[in-house]
Structures are given as structure tokens and as C-alpha cells.
Structure 1
Amino acid sequence: MNFKNIACSFLCYFIGVLAVSAQNEDIFGISDKAKSPKSESGLGNVARNVLEMFSLELSGGGAYQQFNTSFYSANPGLYPFTRVQNLEGDPLDISEENPLEMKGGDWVFPNWNGGVRINLFNLLTIGGGFGQEWGNLSPMRGGDYQFDFEGASYQVDKLYGTVGLVLYDANRRRSFLNWRYRHYSSSNYYMQSELRQRARQNYPWRFILEAEFGTLNLKKTYDASLDQGPEPYQSRLAVSDKNYYGLGLRIERDFSDYTKVFVKGGADFRSFTYAASDFSEFQELNQQVYAMQVGLAVRFPGTKRCKIAGCGVVMKHMHNGVEYRGSGIFNFQDRKIGQWY
């Protein structure tokens, strides 16, 4: 038997295994999509299935940011670096090997993000978008000394991408229930009935571990000492590495097949520089932003709304072999008893 025959045999076996497995669990939604075409043409059906993977989202919230640095300079007078309240004490003793650790923080409000997200087989999510944040710059302190930023606030634009891993959702809940009831015999009708009832329950929650990466653009910093108001000036604060990364946990709650709200908490890690007054040297600054956001996401409906006169079906249904939905995107499409609203 040559390699071509072996490959053909293996391919036939693999397709057969998938067909048998799909009878028990439709992992990728292939059977559902095949049984319920969303368009009269094959190309249109594929396009609508792909469209249904995309969603638009908008979120906003606040954060707490911290700047920290290992300060050392042979000329500290070139920086807004002073002793706290001009207290008398030991002279400053720092070196490259023994810098002064300084830290400070303040609130970031508001910050908002808007973007697009793709759901891949209810296992991974990929997204991207644009965001802005406005933050305050409080002094950093270390020992008896403090570092006063000359700008009182800053504004950052960011372009970002995200990759998320779905940790728990309705599908994983059903798998977990099957695992919990695995010791009960199939002839134990009471426990099997209980399993089926629990597995059919609507579970609207989804937990996603999400990594974020992107680029920053420090758009504006303001000099608090200007009498005429917040006029822009040549900032001594700059982004040293425009790339940043973050990690967060996203909790989603479905309100319909196509709409959901979510809460996302996480931390971003960034790098900045602060220039001396004559721009002859720089201090490296690290920033951590601990953010919390609340948002709304709307998925594109791949199934067209039924417009046939006299058809009062509110669930998903068929006309001439094509699937239609009978309700708006803010309603569940396959509602159960008690959900008819």
C-alpha cells in the first residue's frame, strides 16, 4: 500500500470519527450551520456565518495608575527633585549602584475603549480597537525626597489588540455537569433526568482570561503653572517604548443571542522617560495602570429578520429552507417558558 492510499484511508477514518462525534456534540457548530442555512446561496450562507462571528463593543470606566523609578543623576538640580517640606536631614546619598527608589500614583478618569471582537468556536476571542485615557500626575516620593511632575495631567491614545481564552461558559458548564454525573448509571432515570434539566438551563455567564498589547501615543501633557489655563507645552514626559502589554479578566453576561454586557478588570504595564530641564539626560519611568471598565457588546446578526406578512413566529424558524429570526437582536431568539416578553 503506497503513501497515497494510506493518506486516503486515514482521511476517511478521520471524517468518520468526526461524523460520529458530531452526533453527540457539535463542537464547531458545523451541524447547526448546515441544518439552518441563513441564505438562499451557499456563498451568502458562508458570509452570514462569518459575519455572526464579529461584534462591536464600547466600554468605559476608571483606573489607578502608579509611576515608579530608580532615580539617579549626577545633577539632581536638573529635575523637579526636592526634599519633602525642605526638612533638614542626611544629605542625598545615591549612585548608579544604589539609586533612590521612588513611587507615586493617582487616578485615571475617564478612560474608554471601542473596538471589534471575533469569537472563534467559543474557545478563543481576538479583538482590537482604539482607546483614550486622561490621568493625573502626582509627585513620586522616596525617603525624604519627592519628584514633582511639571505637568499636572496627561492624555494617552492607544491602539490595541487582544487575545482571550474562554475559561468557563455554557458549553464548559455542560461538560462539567456531565463529568459530575459520570458515576450514575444510564438506567438511573432520576439522576439522568436531573442532568438533562440542568444542562438545558440558560447559563448567560462567560469568563475570559485576556491578554492585551498595543501602542501608545502621549498626546498632551499640561503645565499646571500656566496662568492662562491648560495650554500645551514641550513635554519632558515622553513614551520611551510605545509598545505596552496587559493582562485582565473579562466577565460577560448575555442579555440576548446578540447583546451582552461585560466587566473587565486588569493591569497594563508601560514605560516612559522624563527629561532633565536642559534635555541632556533622561530618567526611565515605569507605569502600571489598574483599570476597571464596564461595556456593551453587540454581535452582528447573521440570520435575517423575518418580514413575511402574517408570520407571527417570534423564535428562529424556516421559510423555504432558509432560517429567519422572529425577534429583534435585544431578545432571545429561542425563548423558553417564562421568557416570552
Structure 2
Amino acid sequence: MKRYAAIIALLTVMLTTASDVLAQYENEKDASIPLEYFYVKRQGPSGLRKILSKITFGLSTGYGNTTFKHSLDGFGVLQNPDSMPKLFRPASTASGYSNWINRVQSSGNTVQPGAFLANSDTTELGFKSKAFNIPIRATLHVEISRYKIRLGGGYSFEYTNVGDFKPTNYSDQISTYSSEVSSFFLKKYFLMVGAPVYRYNEYLLVVDANVGGYKLGSKFDNSVIKKGIYFNFGVAVEREMSEYFRLFVRPSYEIKGYKISMPESGPSISHKLNAFYINVGATYRIPELRRCFLKTCHAQMNHAHGNREYRSRRHPIYKKQNPHYGENYPNLIKYKGKNKKKLNPY
């Protein structure tokens, strides 16, 4: 009986020790023996870090092609020989107007011999120009993971080069018009909403829309210009380079315009600046976990030092990584490059 009692006591001690070894501690100070013999419960990221990890920043540039077009309903065009065209009101040919793109200036009209006059009462009059844009675009958005909807906003700063305006009618009688604004900087601020609609491996197709306002720059007289909001509709193809970093190409079409008032009461001139863009850029999301502080640490997966959890410092920003087991070296060197052509890679 004494032998059985001793065996039972020994088993009780072993089970108690095993339960202690498997125990987890909330804090390091609660462990009664060195931590290397225990699993301390990991402390995840802070609340602020979790919030910041939902934010995605984007930066892009590219090329835009703007069709600068307007109609001249309620006006006429006077074309004198060897001069640029001027506008006039049908009731008064002697009252002329120039610079109706950015700031309307009144000037007298003199009908010279050989002049050509056209009135919008009898035909459609207007001018059209092609402009190119070089945009720098910054965005910020959060993704509602449950519905995969992206909500955010952004700012765009664009260099715009404006060409000569060609008449939309009577091109053989009316010469081109050169505005005093050959280039200007266009500033846009907008809200954005979008959602992914299709995925193929690491590629993601996203549709989105931007709605906002814009400023035409100091070369335009904003006191006589009335602007509305603009709409931009785009489709982006994103390439996931890593868990936090993506490259994208985004073609889009934009609708915007403004009206410029004349010095006297009367009809305004409506301008349209619809444009097509191709933006190329990248997005970056702030990681939820801090980068491992230990320079000699080669762990490729999310791991802990003490009770703190870290992400690997071996994950390059440009390469996809699985945070659970790492993918730095998915293929052995013996299978890469010229070695993959060998029948026996050893």
C-alpha cells in the first residue's frame, strides 16, 4: 500500500508541474520561474496601431488629355483679315469682346474690308482646343472590410498646357484663337468611393468614383467664373506586391465645366473641360504590428519576443509575404536560374 501511495503522490506532483508548464501568464512578473520555460500570453497591437492600420495612402502621376470646348450661343464672331477673331452681340457689332476663356475684356470692333461675320442665330458657333495634363495625385482611404467598400478623399495638382482654339464651324473663314492662358495649374480636391469587383491571383480590379471641386489658378478671373462640382469615374488594376504595398494603373474619365459672365448683363459662355486620364502609382497601408527590433532576427513570420508580438524584419515591401509562415524563399536556389534546366539539380 505504501508503494501505491508513493506512486499516486509522484503522479500528482508530475500533473501539477505539467499544468504549470502549459499555463499562460498575463504579465512577465506573474511567472515564478524564468520565462523561457513558459508561454507568456502575447500582447497584440495597441488600439491606435489598429486604427492606423486601416488607413491606406496612395500617390500617383500620369497623363491626361483634356478637351477644352465651348459654344457661343447668343454671340457672333467677327474675323478681320490678319487678326484673331472677336466676339460681338448680335444687336451691336461695334461692341467686341476678347479673352473669353479666362477673363472677358471689352474692346471696340471695327469691321474692315474683307471681314467675315457669323451669327449664332443662323449657325452653331464655338471653339475647341486640346490640352494635356501632368497630374500629381495623393489619396487616403479606409476599407470597410465587411463590405469591401473604400471611402476616402484626395488632392490633385496638375500642370495643364492649353493649345490654340480652333473654330467648330467655318474653319476656312475663321482663324484659330490663341488664349492668353497657354498653361496653368489646376488644383482639385475630392471625395472618393470604390470597391473591388474581381480578383485573379494577386491582381485586383477596382471601380471607383471621385466627386469634388477644383480651382483654375490665378490666370483666371474667379470673380466672373462660376464652377460646379466635377465627377471622375475610373477602373484601377492593382497588383499586390506585399501585404501592405500595391502598384496600380487607373484609367479614368472626368466631367467638369464652368461658366464665365460677360461684363454687361446677358448670356454667359459655358466651357467644358472633360478629360481622359491614365494614372500610375502605388498605395501603402500602415502595418498593424511593429517591425521586429532585433537586427539579428531572421524569423519570416509574425513572432514574439517576450510578450510582445512583431512582424518580420525580413519581409521586403515589394514582395508578397504570408504573415503566418513567410515566403522569402519559396523556391530553393538549386531550382532557380540556370539550375532549373538541369535534370539533376544536385
Q: Say if 2:327 is the partner of 1:338.
A: no
The 1:136–1:123 alpha-carbon spacing in structure 2 relative to 1, beyond 3 Å, is same
Q: Using the TM superposition, give the Cα deviation of residue 125 of structure 1 relative to its aligned residue in structure 2, in angstroms.
A: 1.3
> 2:197 — aligned with what?
167
Q: Using the TM superposition, give the Cα deviation of residue 262 of structure 1 relative to its aligned residue in structure 2, in angstroms.
A: 1.1
The 1:239–1:89 alpha-carbon spacing in structure 2 relative to 1, beyond 3 Å, is closer
Identity rate of aligned residues, in percent?
Answer: 19
Q: Using the TM superposition, give the Cα deviation of residue 113 of structure 1 relative to its aligned residue in structure 2, in angstroms.
A: 0.8
> 2:139 — aligned with what?
115
Q: Using the TM superposition, give the Cα deviation of residue 269 of structure 1 relative to its aligned residue in structure 2, in angstroms.
A: 1.0
- Listed one character per residue, the Cα deviations across residues 73-118 of structure 1 (whole Å, up to 9, x for unaligned) are 342531359xxxx9x79851322x964254322212x211112121
CA root-mean-square deviation: 3.3
The 1:155–1:304 alpha-carbon spacing in structure 2 relative to 1, beyond 3 Å, is same
Match of 2:310 among 324, 329, 335: 324
Q: Distance in 1 between matches of 2:198 and 2:209?
A: 16
The 1:321–1:105 alpha-carbon spacing in structure 2 relative to 1, beyond 3 Å, is same
Q: Which amino acid aligns with 1:78?
A: Y
The 1:120–1:90 alpha-carbon spacing in structure 2 relative to 1, beyond 3 Å, is same
Q: Distance in 2 between matches of 1:236 and 1:160?
A: 20
Q: Which structure 2 residues correspond to residues 54-203 of structure 1 after superposition, within 5 A?
A: 54-74=55-75, 75=88, 77-79=96-98, 91-95=117-121, 99-108=124-133, 110-121=134-145, 123-138=148-163, 139-144=165-170, 145=174, 146-169=176-199, 203=201
Contact between 2:162 and 2:183, CA under 8 Å: does it hold in 1? yes
Q: Distance in 1 between matches of 2:238 and 2:210?
A: 17
Q: Distance in 1 between matches of 2:125 and 2:228?
A: 25
Q: Which amino acid aligns with 2:242?
A: S
SS in 1 for 2:49: helix
- TM-score (norm. length: structure 2): 0.63
The 1:60–1:310 alpha-carbon spacing in structure 2 relative to 1, beyond 3 Å, is closer
The 1:317–1:251 alpha-carbon spacing in structure 2 relative to 1, beyond 3 Å, is same
The 1:319–1:235 alpha-carbon spacing in structure 2 relative to 1, beyond 3 Å, is same
Contact between 1:49 and 1:302, CA under 8 Å: does it hold in 2? yes
Q: Distance in 2 between matches of 1:283 and 1:51?
A: 47
Q: Distance in 2 between matches of 1:150 and 1:120?
A: 47
Q: Using the TM superposition, give the Cα deviation of residue 295 of structure 1 relative to its aligned residue in structure 2, in angstroms.
A: 0.9
Count of aligned positions:
251
SS in 2 for 1:220: coil
Q: Distance in 1 between matches of 2:159 and 2:265?
A: 28
> 1:219 — aligned with what?
217
Q: Which structure 2 residues correspond to residues 200-279 of structure 1 after superposition, within 5 A?
A: 203-221=201-219, 235=221, 239-276=225-262, 278=263
Q: Name which one, 1 or 2, has greater alpha-carbon Rg.
A: 2
Q: Distance in 2 between matches of 1:285 and 1:215?
A: 16
The 1:340–1:324 alpha-carbon spacing in structure 2 relative to 1, beyond 3 Å, is farther
The structure with the largest helix share of the pair is 1
Q: Distance in 1 between matches of 2:253 and 2:53?
A: 30
Q: Using the TM superposition, give the Cα deviation of residue 236 of structure 1 relative to its aligned residue in structure 2, in angstroms.
A: 7.9
SS in 2 for 1:219: coil
Structure 1: gaps spanning 5 or more residues:
1-37, 174-202, 222-233
- TM-score (norm. length: structure 1): 0.63
Contact between 1:305 and 1:328, CA under 8 Å: does it hold in 2? no
